[in-house]
Structure 1
Amino acid sequence: MSTEVSLPAPTGLQAFADQARQYADQSRAANTRRAYASDVRAFANWCAARGEPSLPASPAAVLAYLIDHATTLKVVTLQRRLAAIREQHAAAGFDLETSSSAFRDTWRGIKRAHGQPAVKKRPLMTVDLRRAVATLPDTLPGRRDRALILVGFAAALRRSELAGLEVTRRDGAAWVEERPDGLVVHLARSKTDQSGEGAEIGVPYGSNMETCPVRSYRAWLNAAHLTEGPAFRPIDRHGHIGTEAVTDRAVARIVQRTVEAAALADGYSPEEARQLAAAYAGHSLRSGLATSAAANDAPGHAIQRQLRHKRFDTTSGYIRSGQLFKQNPAGMAGL
């Protein structure tokens, strides 16, 4: 969604006004901009079907839109659409009044009546990760998947970060540096670093050969003969390696496919294995590292540093999950 910026626009300043609009467009992540643009279009179509103006829209129309979709859209989606509508109005210089008690009370009622806890994907704990990667064959796709899963887990990467890694340094790209002590993942930009300051994440050698992210990554590069470009790439059924990077959705599919294979190896039926795998996603690597580390009493500040959280309370959610049974009062009650 384009963001309008008002600047004086005499002939000599027009170029700066155009640049200001371009920079304003970059103030949010690309995924957020696409989502907001889609949200605004959905609201405009709804208004057009009812003969209501969408810009500027009346608070009553916005509230009616929220009510009309309260049973068909999740509250988190409605919340994002409301934010998009507000931002569109502010960018266009319109004041959308949503602070009245009637609006606030109705919106609060919608959230209370239809709000649900977020459905979180299951963390891939270390013990489950070991079983999963053990099922991967010693083939080109198997080596790629092993390296992708282990590096993503050890570096606590988001799936988009993992998919975007490159073998060597390139301006504006995330890349992996090989050092004697392990790997260093250099991130150019991340979800919590929209200003692009970057971050360095250390990935040490694993204590087990089968689950060592450093050895697995190097084995994949050697097998694929990669010296530059994307680190993780598609491989077709003939064994040909692509030139582009895998997508972030491909990362999720690789995780799910590997978990499903492990479940089948453990004796699950095909249907049970599919259902179990569906509980995991790309984020399961990141949350799995945090939760597993917390279960093994890793310091909270170290977990926060690896996850690159700005706020510790975000990290503490993973720590609570990993330590549910650590010094649990119920376990000390003599039951």
Structure 2
Amino acid sequence: MARITSHRPDDHEDATDASPGDGLSQEVAVSAPPAPPAHLQDLTDRARSYVEAASSANTRRAYAADWKHFSAWCRRQGLSPFPPDPQVVGLYITACASGTAERGTRPNTVSTIERRLSAIGWNCAQRGVPLDRRDRHIATVLAGIRNRHAAPPRQKEAILPEDLLAMLETLDRGTLRGLRDRAMLLIGFAGGLRRSEITGLDLGRDQTEDGRGWIEIFDKGALATLRGKTGWREVEIGRGSSDATCPVAALETWIKFARIAKGPLFRRVTGKGKDVGPDRLNDQEVARLVKKTALAAGVRGDLSEAERAERFAGHSLRAGLASSAEVDERHVQKQLGHASAEMTRRYQRRRDRFRINLTKAAGL
């Protein structure tokens, strides 16, 4: 069995509470390399910015919270979170799976435990001491957790076209916020965009450092150029059959009345709804918008309000397009940026699952 290291009072506490992105500058309870010479400070700062760019802001926030959770659990047990001890990590994920990692909390799901484990590995790697996830104290325990607690993923409800139209009717077309929200819902649906892709759009190329892409408007539609996990991709968004439901017309109206000439496309509306600020919207605002308008429109009224709030999120727009577009599956796959048709099928909530009947094909 691996030796468990007790938490010592003189351990560097600030090393255990560090957030991702600060990994190049953290002091830790092990010998650290000397600080770079002063004339390399500019390169050090630039390298730190590249470290942050390697993962999304949401991932960094989640990793920071998970590392804090692990460090707090270690301190309560009188253990040291660093350097990484596989046996300690194995006991921690066991506590997460059993609901004893923190008082008054439920057992973590398998996906949450896997994310916490990734966060621990990421933070340890940033401190120069990698975590060996193949160690039996981690790998075997995690395999057992998966076998006992893994469950099918809970998919978000798809926003279908009739749902989207009802949701749009709940928005005030006479306000800047209403025009913005209308454009976000329509562009998100027609483009099959992730919420971070919606709020990451700029009005043009190379206009901001934190942008994830840009939009170009043509006579026949709009072209969104997006940076994703696997590189750049282009998403064509055609004009609708009427201005009332056209995502490109909604986008043009928002740009015109918001007087946006450069920079982030979807921004905060300030001054009691009369002004448009310079700041980009947080991507969680898309999830809140979908939930709010779905509830207001009475979508899935057969469910309780709490259930409906749980069923809808930003991914509901992507699932809605995948479930509604009656075209060859490969076109939907390309629009959503999926590497495989199987992933696209997971988004299709109302496809004919028995279109290909192998039972009859086999002669039965």
Q: CA deviation at 1:161?
A: 1.8
Q: CA deviation at 1:65?
A: 0.9
Superimposed CA distance per residue, residues 58-111 of structure 1 (whole angstroms, 9 cap, x where no aligned partner): 222111111112123222121122222233444444464443545433222222
Determine the structure 2 residue equivalent to 1:279.
311
Q: CA deviation at 1:305?
A: 1.4
Determine the structure 1 residue equivalent to 2:16.
none
Aligned residues: 319
What is the CA RMSD across the aligned residues, in angstroms? 3.4
- Of 209, 221, 231, the match for 1:182: 221
Equivalent pair of 1:3/1:25 in contact (CA under 8 Å): no
- Of 104, 114, 119, the match for 2:139: 104
Q: CA deviation at 1:55?
A: 1.5
- Does residue 1:59 correspond to 2:98, yes or no? no
Q: Secondary structure of the equivalent of 1:184?
A: strand
Q: Which amino acid aligns with 2:264?
A: P
- Does residue 1:39 correspond to 2:66, yes or no? yes
2-structure distance, mates of 1:108, 1:215: 51
Q: CA deviation at 1:325?
A: 5.5
Equivalent pair of 2:172/2:179 in contact (CA under 8 Å): yes
- Does residue 1:142 correspond to 2:171, yes or no? no
- Does residue 1:214 correspond to 2:243, yes or no? no
Determine the structure 2 residue equivalent to 1:166.
202
Mapping of 1:150-299 within 5 angstroms?
150-169=186-205, 170-172=207-209, 173=211, 174-187=213-226, 189-190=227-228, 192-193=229-230, 197-235=231-269, 238-243=272-277, 244-263=279-298, 272=304, 275-293=307-325, 296=326, 298-299=327-328
Q: Secondary structure of the equivalent of 2:202?
A: coil
Superimposed CA distance per residue, residues 189-239 of structure 1 (whole angstroms, 9 cap, x where no aligned partner): 33x24xxx5332211111243211112222233333433343333335843
Q: Which amino acid aligns with 1:256?
A: K
2-structure distance, mates of 1:206, 1:128: 16
Q: Secondary structure of the equivalent of 1:235?
A: strand
Uncovered stretches (5+) of structure 2, i.e. residues with no partner = 1-19, 26-31, 100-106
- Of 310, 326, 342, the match for 1:313: 342
Q: CA deviation at 1:146?
A: 1.8
Determine the structure 1 residue equivalent to 2:331.
302
Structure-2-length-normalised TM-score: 0.74
* Percent identity between the two aligned chains: 33
Structure-1-length-normalised TM-score: 0.80
Q: Secondary structure of the equivalent of 2:254?
A: helix
Equivalent pair of 2:202/2:208 in contact (CA under 8 Å): no
Determine the structure 2 residue equivalent to 1:133.
168
1:221 to 1:245, Cα distance in 2 relative to 1, 3 A: same
Q: Which has the higher helix share?
A: 1
2-structure distance, mates of 1:224, 1:9: 47
